[in-house]
C-alpha cells in the first residue's frame, strides 16, 4: 500500500472515530460538503473562528462565575452563544454540556454552573486537540500528493 493510500485510510479512521465517540456530529459533515477547490480552507477557517469565539466565551464565563454576586442571565447568555457556535460546527459534546449548563443557570445553581464550566473546558480542550490533529493529518496528506476523501 503506498503512503498516500495509507494516510488516507488513517485520516478516514480518525475522522470516523471522532464521530463514533460523539465529538463531532452531522453538522461537521455538512461543513465538509461546503468545501471545494474555490474554498479549500473553509472548514479550517470556520473551526478557527469557533476556537476564538469559544476561548473568549470561556474567559467571560470564568470571570462571571468568580463574581461575589453572579449574574445568571449574563452567564446564560454566554453559554447560549457557545452552544450556538459549537452546534454550528458540529462539536456535539461541547454543545451537550452547554445544554446542561443552561439548566443550572435557570435554577441559579452555582455548584452546577461551576461543574459545568469545568466540563465544558475539558470537552472544548479535547475537541480542539482532536480537530487540530485532524487538520494536521489532512495537511500532511495533501502535501504527500493525496486529497482528503471528504471531497
Residue numbers at the binding site for another protein (CB under 8 A) = 12, 15-16, 19-20, 22, 25-27, 29-31, 33-34, 39, 42, 45-46, 49-50, 53, 77, 80-81, 83-85, 87-90, 92, 149-150
User: Could you tell me the sign of the dihedral formed by the alpha carbons of 93, 99, 101, 104, in that order?
Assistant: negative
Minimal distance, residue 3 CB to another protein, in Å = 19
Of 50 and 104, nearer to another protein (C-beta) is 50
Of 30 and 133, nearer to another protein (C-beta) is 30
Distance CA 119, CA 15 (A): 23
Distance CA 149, CA 87 (A): 23
Minimal distance, residue 125 CB to another protein, in Å = 18
Name which of 135, 43, 150, 132 is nearest 89 in CA terms: 43
Of 110 and 126, nearer to another protein (C-beta) is 126
Of 38 and 111, nearer to another protein (C-beta) is 38
Distance CA 58, CA 47 (A): 16
Minimal distance, residue 50 CB to another protein, in Å = 5
Name which of 39, 56, 34, 61 is nearest 118 in CA terms: 61
Minimal distance, residue 136 CB to another protein, in Å = 18
Q: What is the DSSP letter of 109?
A: -
Amino acid at each position: 500500500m503506498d503512503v498516500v493510500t495509507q494516510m488516507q485510510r488513517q485520516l478516514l479512521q480518525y475522522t470516523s472515530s471522532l464521530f463514533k465517540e460523539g465529538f463531532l456530529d452531522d453538522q461537521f459533515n455538512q461543513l465538509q460538503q461546503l468545501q471545494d477547490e474555490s474554498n479549500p480552507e473553509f472548514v479550517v477557517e470556520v473551526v478557527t473562528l469557533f476556537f476564538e469565539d469559544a476561548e473568549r466565551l470561556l474567559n467571560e464565563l470564568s470571570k462571571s462565575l468568580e463574581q461575589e454576586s453572579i449574574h445568571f442571565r449574563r452567564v446564560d447568555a454566554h453559554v447560549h452563544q457557545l452552544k450556538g457556535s459549537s452546534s454550528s460546527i458540529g462539536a456535539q459534546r461541547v454543545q451537550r454540556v452547554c445544554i446542561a449548563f443552561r439548566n443550572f443557570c435557570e435554577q441559579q445553581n452555582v455548584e452546577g454552573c461551576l461543574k459545568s464550566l469545568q466540563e465544558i473546558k475539558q470537552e472544548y480542550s479535547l475537541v480542539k486537540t482532536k480537530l487540530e490533529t485532524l487538520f494536521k493529518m489532512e495537511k500532511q496528506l495533501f502535501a504527500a500528493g493525496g486529497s482528503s476523501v471528504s471531497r
